[in-house]
Amino acid sequence: MTNPLLQKNRLPSFSGVKPEYIEPALDYVLENAKNTVDTLLSDLQKATWQNLVLPMEALDATIDHVWSPVSHLNSVMNSDELRVAYNACLPKLSQFGTELGQNEDLYKAYKSIAEGSEYQNLDHAQQKVIDNAVRDFRLSGVELSQQDRDKFKAISQSLTELTAKFEQNLMDATHAWKKHITDESLLAGLPQSTKEMAAQVAKRDEIEGWLFTLDFPSYMPVMSYADDRDFREEMYTAFATKASDQGPNAGEWDNTEVMKDILKLRHELANLIGFANHAERSLATKMAQSPQQVLDFLNDLAARSKSIAEKEFEELKTFANETDGMTELEAWDVTYFAEKLRQQRYSISQEELKPYFPEDKVVSGLFGVVNKLYGLEIKERDDIDVWHKDVRFFDIFDGEGELRGQFYLDLYARNHKRGGAWMDECLLRRQTEQGIETPVAFLTCNFSEPVGDKPALFTHDEVTTLFHEFGHGLHHMLTKIHHAGVSGINGVAWDAVELPSQFMENWAWEREALDLISGHYETGEVLPQDLFDKMIAARNFQSAMIMVRQLEFSLFDFRLHLEYDPAQANQVEKILTEVREQVAVVKPPEFNRFAHSFSHIFAGGYAAGYYSYKWAEVLSADAFSKFEEKGIFDRQTGLEFLQAILEQGGSKEPMELFVEFRGREPKIDALLRHSGIAV
C-alpha cells in the first residue's frame, strides 16, 4: 500500500496513518531533502531569492507535510506504537536540522544575499526572512570549530529527546491516576454536571459509580466544590506531584533527572555559541532587550501586586475561619473557599454560567464576533478526514469570498491526549508554483465533553480559553505574507506572539459579544443581565493573587535559566523557593512538585520565555483599549488591527507593528486597569 504520509494530498489522511508508516516516510523525505540541498549548492553560481530561498521553503514544506500530522497525532491520539515511531524519528529530525543550520555553504549563500545588491530590491518581508536566517545560522553554531559543531549537534539531539521524555512522563502520570468512588456521600457539594460526567467516565471503563481523573474538567470542579476535604487533598496531592518523586505514583514517571539534564544541556549550548546562559540566548529572538529589562518588568508588577494579593488572601482566611472554623488554609482548601467567597460576595459561580454556554452557541457566537470585527465568514465542512469523531473542520472566507484559512477543532478532553489548549500549524501560507497555499491550523482544547443527551456545556473560563486559542489561529490563518519564514506566527518574537490571543479574550467579557456567544441550552435565552453584572463584578476577584501566581511562574522560569550554575545542586527547588518567598501569598506544601509538570518551559517553547504572557498582556490590553475608545465592534478599528497585526505576521518587528496600529508605544496602564490593580 502507498504510504499515506507520502501522498500528495493537500490535507493529511489521518485515518490512514499507521505507526509503521512514520519512520520510512520521514527517512524518505529527509534523504530527498539532503540531496536537494547538495544539488542546490553545487549548481549555485550566485545565490538569489528565486534560486535559493524559494527551493529551501519548498524543502521545509515537504518535511512538514510528513511530520506535522505525526507530531499532532502524538499529542492528540497517543499510543505505545505511535510513541515508539515518534521517538525513533526525533534524533533524525534534530540531526537534519542541526546539519542544515551548520551548513557553511548554505550560510554563505544566505549571507551573500544579505550583503548583495538584490537585498535592496526585496520587500521588507523578504528582507526579514534573510535577516532571520543569517541570525539563526549563527544561533545554530555555524561559526564554531568542527569539534564544537559536533558537540552542538549531540547536545541538540539529546535536548530533543529529553523534552519529548518530559512530555511523555507527564502524559503517562496524568492518565495513570484515577479515583473511583462508589459512595455518593463523598460527592457532596459537587455540581450535578460534574457527577454526571464522572459517571459517564466510569461507565466507559465498565465500572459502577463515579470515576475522577487528573484531566482539568474533572480535577477543577473537585477543587472548587467538593465538601469532602480528604477527597480534595487526595486529588490535589495526585495533581501537584505528577511525574515526580512524590505522591501516589512517586518515582514512576519521575521528571527530576530529566529537568536537571535539560537545564544543564541548555546552559552548555548557550555557552557554546557565546552566551553566558540560556536566558541571554533566549532573548536573541525576542522583543525584550536584556535579562535585566525582563526582571525589572516582572519585579515591578510584583511590587504593584503583592500587597493587594496579601490582602486578598487574608480576606480568604478570615472567611474560611468564620464560615468553617478553619484556622489553617491548606493548598487544597484555597480554591474551595475562594469559590464559596465568590458566591457569597457576587452570588455567582462558573457552574451557574455553564448552561448559558453550550458548545454550538459558543462556537457560532465566536464566529459571529470575528465576522463583526473583520467581515469574515466561517463555514463548517464534513468531507474532511479527521483523527477522531469529535473533531470538526471549518473554512474561513473574507468579505470578497476568498478562502483565507482552514482549521480543525478538537475540543474535548480524553485519554491519550495531552492536557492544555494550543494552536498548531498544519499548513503555512506561502507562495508555491501552483499559487498561494491556504494556511491550515490545529485548534486543540481539553474541555468538558457532552454528557448524556445534553450538549457540551462550557465554563466561562473555557469560553475564554477558546477565544485565546482562536486568536492564535487567526494570527496564523489571516496572514497576507506568503514567505513561510515570516508568514503568520512564524518569525514573530516569542514575547509578542501572545498579543493576538490575549487580545481576543477581551470579547468573552463584553455584553454585546456575550449576546452572540451565550444561549441557554434548553431555552436559548442569552446570559441574563443580572448574571452578566455579577460576572463583571466578580471579574477581578482575587486578580492580584492570580497575578502573583503568574509572576511566580515567570520569575522562576527566567531566573532558573539566567542563574543556572552546573556546580550547584537542587537549583530547581532553591530558585522556586526564593521566588515564592518574594511573590507568593499561598505557600504550597513540601511535597508540591509544580516544576515537574511545567511543560511550557521543559517541553514547550517557553524556556526563559514564560514572561511573554505578561509582556504580551501589556500589548493586548493596550491594543484593546483602542476598541474601548471607539466601540468594541468598530469595524474600522477591527480592520486596522487586522491589517497591522494579523496580516503582517513576522514580517516586521512587533514594536513597529504595534505603533502602526496604536499610533504610539504600549503603556502598562490598561493591563493594570483590566487586572483591578491601581496605576
Give me the residue label for grid cell 483523527. 387
Backbone angles phi, psi at 201, to 5 degrees: -65, -40
Whether residues 262 and 364 share a domain: the answer is: no
Q: What are the φ and ψ backbone dihedral angles of 17, each rounded to 5 degrees?
A: -75, 120
> Hunting for cell 512587533 — which residue is that?
654
Determine, yes or no, domain membership for 156. Answer: no
Instruction: State the pairing for strand pair 430-432/435-437.
Output: antiparallel
Distance separating alpha carbons of residues 670 and 23, to the nearest angstrom: 50
Residue 602: the pLDDT is 98
Strands 430-432 and 422-427, sheet pairing: unpaired
Q: Out of 112, 139, 166, pick the residue that ends a domain.
A: 139
At 550-568, the pLDDT tens digits run 999 999 999 999 999 999 9
Give the span between the Cα atoms of 223 and 240, in whole angstroms.
Answer: 12
Report pLDDT for 43: 84
Q: pLDDT digits over 283-335, tens only?
A: 999 999 999 999 999 999 999 999 999 999 999 999 999 999 999 999 999 99
Q: How far apart are CA 495 and CA 504, in angstroms?
A: 17
63-117 pLDDT tens trace? 999 999 999 999 999 999 999 999 999 999 999 999 999 999 999 999 999 999 9
- Provide the Cα torsion 101, 104, 106, 111; round to 10°: 100
Is 552 designated active site? Answer: no
Say whether both 35 and 110 belong to one domain: yes
For residue 521, pLDDT over 80 is answered with yes
Catalytic residue among 351, 469, 505, 510: 469
335 and 375 part of one domain: no
Q: What percent of the chain has pLDDT over 90?
A: 97
Residues 140/275, Cβ–Cβ less than 8 Å? no
Are 568 and 479 in a shared domain?
no
49 shares a domain with 133? yes
Q: Are residues 217 and 272 both part of a single domain?
A: no
Query: Can you say how many angstroms the Cα of residue 223 is from the centroid of all Cα atoms in its chain?
Result: 23
pLDDT of 192: 95
Q: Could you give the C-alpha distances from 520 to 52, 132, 455, 534, in angstroms and in order?
A: 56, 49, 11, 17
214 and 265, same domain (yes or no): no
In a domain, 15, yes or no: yes
Q: What is the pLDDT of residues 614-643, one digit of tens each?
A: 999 999 999 999 999 999 999 999 999 999
Query: Which residue in 467, 239, 422 sits closest to 458, CA to CA?
Result: 467
Check if the beta carbon of residue 465 is closer than 8 Å to that of residue 445.
Answer: yes
CATH code at position 440: 3.40.390.10
Q: Which of 494, 518, 535 is the last residue of a domain?
A: 494
Output phi, psi for 568, to 5 deg: -100, 145
Last residue of a domain, one of 463, 494, 525: 494
Domain match, 381 and 408 both: yes
pLDDT in tens, 250-274: 999 999 999 999 999 999 999 999 9
Domain with 549 in it: what CATH number?
1.10.1370.10
**Is 533 within a domain?**
no
Q: Which three cell numbers stand for residue 172?
A: 503517562
Residues 408 and 481 in one domain: yes
Question: Does a structural domain hold residue 660?
Answer: no
Do 188 and 262 lie in one domain? The reply is no
392 is written with which cell numbers? 470538526
Average pLDDT, the chain: 97
* Domain with 213 in it: 177-240
DSSP 455: P
**DSSP states of 160-208:** HHHHHHHHHHHHHHHHH-EEEE--GGGGTT--HHHHHHHHHHHHHTT-S
DSSP conformational letter for 123: -
Is the residue at 20 inside a domain? yes
- 278: Cα separation from own chain's centroid: 21
Asked if residue 76 and residue 198 are part of one domain, the reply reads no
The answer to whether residue 335 sits within a structural domain is yes
Instruction: From 221, 196, 216, select the one nearest 446 (Cα to Cα).
Output: 216
| 133-143 tens-digit pLDDT | 999 999 999 99
Q: How many angstroms separate the CA atoms of 499 and 38, rounded?
A: 40
d(CA 307, CA 45): 65
Whether residues 26 and 135 fall in one domain: yes
Kindly report, residue by residue over 455-503, the tens digit of the pLDDT.
Answer: 999 999 999 999 999 999 999 999 999 999 999 999 999 999 999 999 9
Task: Quote the pLDDT of residue 1.
Answer: 55
What is the number of structural domains in the chain? Answer: 4
Q: Quick check: 120 pLDDT over 90?
A: yes
320 is a domain residue: yes
From CA 171, how far away is CA 175, in angstroms rounded?
Answer: 6
- For the domain that residue 42 is a member of, what is the CATH number? 1.20.1050.40
Q: In what order do the strands lie in the sheet with 392-397?
A: 377-381, 392-397, 403-412, 440-447, 422-427
Give domain status of residue 532, yes or no: no
Mean pLDDT of 347-357: 94
pTM of the model: 0.96
Per-residue pLDDT band at 44 (split at 50, 70, 90): confident
